[in-house]
Amino acid sequence: LQGCQIADLAELSGSYPGLREFLPTEIALALGVAETTASRKLDEAQAFTTRLPATFAALHAGRISERKARAVQQGTADVPDEVAALVERDVLPDLPTSTMPQVHDLVAAAVIRRDPYGAQDRHEQARERRGVTRRHLPDGMATMTVFSTLPDVAAIHLALTAMSEAA
């Protein structure tokens, strides 16, 4: 079913009769999700159907889960299409029997093996996505997620730990 939804989103994205900027809003309303979630789903659908067709086929056939397919998509997001195709070919046979940590490790190792000289470029692209998000939870609680470089996260953790110990 997840594969069917991805196929439908990719088809809708390619043949949407309205202004493209409103498509995520309409998808969000139809699916009952946030607009950012709808945008992410549209981007993933585009990536699966154009850059990672074998991963999409495995998902659509039920051989791998959506989480595993998404790990391949996210792990290859910052590499050229030809590298993504090689990584996909390398990791796809092992995905059905791999745990999620193993999937992440397989994809990361394949990306380095297939594009060792692009590591700095990928790091710079990832740095551009740095940010902090928060999510409200029940009972007056919340979570905060920081996406940044390892040294930045280590410094933030150290500062928060010191503040909590002082409190």
User: Binning pLDDT at 50, 70 and 90, where does residue 161 land?
Assistant: very high
Cα distance between residue 79 and residue 87, in whole Å: 10
Query: Which residue type occupies 94?
Result: D
Q: Please, is 2 exposed, middle or buried when counting C-beta atoms within 10 Å of its C-beta (0-12, 13-18, 19+)?
A: middle
Within 10 angstroms of residue 50's Cβ, the number of other Cβ atoms is 13
Two tokens at 52?
A: 């990672």
pLDDT per position as a tens digit, 91-105:
999 999 999 999 999
pTM recorded for the entire structure: 0.74
pLDDT at 16 over 80: no
| Predicted local confidence at residue 2, as pLDDT | 81
Average pLDDT over residues 112-126: 91
pLDDT value of residue 153: 95
